[in-house]
Amino acid sequence: MSYLLLDAVFLAAAAAVAVFALRQRRPGRTGVAAVGIALAALLVLTAVFDTVMIAVGLVAYDPALLIGFRVGLAPLEDFAYPVAAALLLPALWTLLGREHE
């Protein structure tokens, strides 16, 4: 199984939950902006820390299972998890949170 296929499974699940949450309650502009800022921060942190972890030898990837694009030393596939988190966590917050009183 390639890393891209594994990423697709996580992204599809996160997107499905996010779509369901959006149907339940639409976020305001502030909510959308907050998710966008959080996603940008997560992507930058992923690029920096994945590059450091790969550089010092904490993790390694089978090149045959990668599509080949990298940001720093981090393979593009590593960025699916922050995207999934930025979709899934606000969606779960919306679905499981209490309404404003």
**Location of structure tokens 């404003």:** 100
Q: Is 56 part of any domain?
A: yes
Average pLDDT, consecutive stretches of 10 residues, N- to C-terminus, the chain (101 residues): 88 94 84 90 95 93 86 91 93 78 44
Q: Is 60 part of any domain?
A: yes
Q: Is 101 part of any domain?
A: no
Query: Count of alpha carbons within 13 Å of 16, Cβ hemisphere only?
Result: 6
Q: Is 83 part of any domain?
A: yes
25 touches 90 (CB < 8 A): no
Question: The whole model's pTM is what?
Answer: 0.80
CA 61/CA 32 separation, integer angstroms? 34
The size of the chain, in residues, is 101
Q: Is 87 part of any domain?
A: yes
Residue 25: which domain range? 3-96
Q: What is the pLDDT of residue 99?
A: 58
Q: What is the pLDDT of residue 101?
A: 44
Number of domains in the chain: 1
